[in-house]
Amino acid sequence: MRRAVAVRLSALLAAGALTAATSVALSTTTASAATGGVTGYATQNGGTTGGAGGQTVRATTGTAIHQALCGRASSSTPITIQVEGTINHGNTTKVSGSSCNTAADKIELKQISNVTIVGVGSGAVFDQLGIHIREAGNIVIQNVTVRNVKKSGSPTSNGGDAIGMESDVRNVWVDHVTLEASGGESEGYDGLFDMKDNTQYVTLSYSVLRNSGRGGLIGSSESDRSNGYVTFHHNLYENIDSRAPLLRGGIAHMYNNHYKRLNDSGINSRAGARARVDNNYFEDSKDVLGTFYTDEAGYWQVGGNVFDNVTWSSRSGDHNPAGPNPTSNTSVSIPYGFTLDGANCVPSVVAQTAGAGKGLKVSDGSCTPQSPDPTDPGPTDPGEPTDPGPTDPPAGTNLSLGAGADGSSKASGTSYGNVIDGSTSTYWSPSGSTGAVSVKWGSATTVSKVNIRLASGSGTIGAYRLLNHDTGAVLASGSGAGTVGFSPVSLRKITLEITNASGTPRIAEFETYAS
């Protein structure tokens, strides 16, 4: 692998430090999964819903992510895992169970289905630890950062891929993520977003890929042509040497992406692949489209793209750039609907929407960023207003039944006691969008899990805290409804404090459990 990215990276350290600081600041945005916005090829083959309709849990370590997968009733039981904090080798271990197949050196989504992993709260960073999807289907990954994953040196993870998919993978939506390295292959890094060995129906949207020798590939060799049906839209590729992406066989659709400083080559369509390339903005780059490093040709359909300070090499041998005036040499039919932003506004709209910590903002198709609609019935949104709660409630006795309840900011016509009556048809609401409701006992009671159920017509909980009312300690925090666990604590009163919401939340049940 060429060392260009490492050389250029050293010249960008100051800018990189600023970017990192900006990323940390932006990651304070609270986000929840918005699967109603799934786009591209991930909408095909039955669609991609992730953990829709299942239990919602929180995780602050890699081990906790694996525990959530292994704690399901089966390997296909839907689950949404809200992740906050830094996930690394030090807090990621293998967990065993009949519903999982995990490993210690990566986040392993292997031989499973129906899973959403979404960053919430102050953000989720997978530091030097990759996400591996293998023999799996219906996976959603949103609002996370994966950085500096290595295949050589120390520590190593996931073959050096930030997100890697292989072996009969179907229907994956990766959205609003930041994938970054700090060099090329000689520095120990590999691809940021790789698909191999029969991976199909994938969308990468509103994401940032930067500072790497290899952006990603579809197909591990010229003979690995069983992959494809991949959409890339509204992504930023910045300071990438090559593979933006490399496509061997199959079909890919690239639209409204911003490619900036592709140092050696960009979209590499080869080995019979067909790429549709619509309304992208290529800037300060070299050989951004063509067939490179092989004599097995690939094909492309182009339209509406902007080439801003793009240089083109002469054609020779196995180096066949599409420029300097790219024209279509195939036709690619797209089976799903999509709306194109004008290419000239792509740098601006991508800068405002792409990457983790951007509040899941998307373009409205007219170059204007929009926040996700809180009333959009996204099935993986743990705060879905019409969902009365997870279909897989925690096991054991609901300790709230028979307890007392009080709180603050009660809306007219509602009752604190409605959250402990075992019925989802009654509810408590705050007077406005924020407020608190508590469950209390006459003597100390041990609690380690809470399940919040929303009534029909509820607003969405944007942010909450669970408090030990006896001491004021914060037991957990997050967004949306569902189940959250924490270290067992003995207390007489536990409080749900809603600090941000869209609309007025309707808390049907505030369930508490010992385990």
Residue 115 CB neighbours (<10 A): 28
* Cβ contacts of 514 within 8 Å, gap of 6 or more: 396, 397, 399, 445, 446, 447, 448, 449, 488
Q: Say what the pLDDT of residue 463 is.
A: 77
Could you give phi then psi for residue 141, rounded to 5 degrees? -125, 125
Amino acid at 33: A
- Concerning whether 270 is annotated as a catalytic residue, the answer is no
Mean of pLDDT values over 92-99: 96
Residue 457 Cα distances to 37, 311, 343, angstroms: 21, 55, 40
Angle between helices 4-11 and 13-26 (to 10 degrees): 80
pLDDT value at residue 251: 97
- CA atoms of 501 and 480, how far apart (whole Å): 9
The answer to whether 193 touches 163, Cβ cutoff 8 Å, is yes
pLDDT of residue 19: 34
* pLDDT for 413: 81
Please tell me the pTM assigned to this model: 0.70
Terminal alpha carbon distance of the chain:
51
What does the DSSP 8-state code read for residue 316?
A: B
Phi–psi pair at 40, nearest 5 degrees:
70, -155
Q: Residue 5: in which H helix or E strand, if any? A: helix 4-11
- Determine the Cα–Cα distance for residues 7 and 10; give it in Å rounded to an integer: 6
Active-site position among 134, 243, 248, 261: 243
Token pair in block for residue 425: 């048809």
The answer to whether the peptide bond before residue 377 is cis (omega within 30 degrees of 0) is no
The per-residue pLDDT for range 388-442, each reduced to its tens digit, is 333 355 778 999 988 999 998 788 889 999 999 888 888 999 987 788 899 999 9
pLDDT, tens only, 169-191: 999 999 999 999 999 999 999 99
In terms of DSSP bridges, do strands 79-87 and 55-59 run parallel, antiparallel, or are they unpaired?
parallel
Averaged over 105-124, what is the pLDDT?
Answer: 97
3-state SS record for 189-206 = ECECEEEECCEEEEEEEC
